[in-house]
Amino acid sequence: MRVLAALSCAILVLGDAAPVAAAPAPQMALSRLTVGVDITVPASVNLGVGFAGGTLTGALGTVEVRDQRGPTNPNTWVATVSATIFVTGAGGPQRTITRDQIRYWSGPATRSTGGGTLVPGQPTQAQAVTLDVTREAFRKTSGNGNNNMRWSPTVRVAIPAGIVAGVYSGTITHSVA
């Protein structure tokens, strides 16, 4: 069983001139799929404004895993995270931020109910990982019964030098199985 929740992200990159367009405002709707264990993320987030050759750090909002499988023994799960490239316009070499330029860290659990052992994939910024491949975001390693837990991950985007100014869009997907 794998349940997916995708988060659309936008970055406004400024060049030497004034910005081309404003980044879209974040939407507050939630994306949710239910199959005994489900995961919920904000539908979109505006990561902010950055400059070519710089970095941009932004919060992705609250990610929540709800395990409603009851007293199975044990009810463990693994949440993973992946990303697409970020592009503006038609994409191409000077209109793309590749996945290896996106670093992610889960941070600690911000809320949990129901017990069990929860293990963050990257508890602090020092453990941030690139999203060039699918990474583990969080894991529940023990415990029985229904439970819910939340975390608030962060990404740091290295904006390539020489990139074209514009609004760059991509998707960060959290999954649970």
Domains of the chain, earliest start first: 3-176 (2.60.40)
For residue 100, the number of C-alpha atoms closer than 13 Å in the C-beta half-sphere is 0
Q: Which residue has the tokens 């367009």?
A: 21
Rounded distance between C-alpha atoms, residue 72 and residue 157, angstroms: 40
Question: Does a cis peptide bond (omega within 30 degrees of 0) precede residue 24?
Answer: no
Rounded distance between C-alpha atoms, residue 153 and residue 103, angstroms: 11
Query: pLDDT at position 74, please?
Result: 73
pLDDT digits (tens, 9 = 90+) for 35-77: 588 999 998 899 999 999 999 999 999 999 999 888 877 789 9
Does pTM surpass 0.75?
yes
pLDDT digits (tens, 9 = 90+) for 78-114: 999 999 999 999 999 999 999 999 999 999 999 999 8
User: pLDDT over 90 for what percent of the chain?
Assistant: 66
Mean pLDDT, all residues of the chain = 86
Q: What's the residue count for the chain? A: 177
Q: Which residue has the tokens 């904006």?
A: 159
Q: What's the mean pLDDT in 149-163?
A: 96
| Least-confidence region, from 1-5, 7-11, 130-134, 168-172 | 1-5
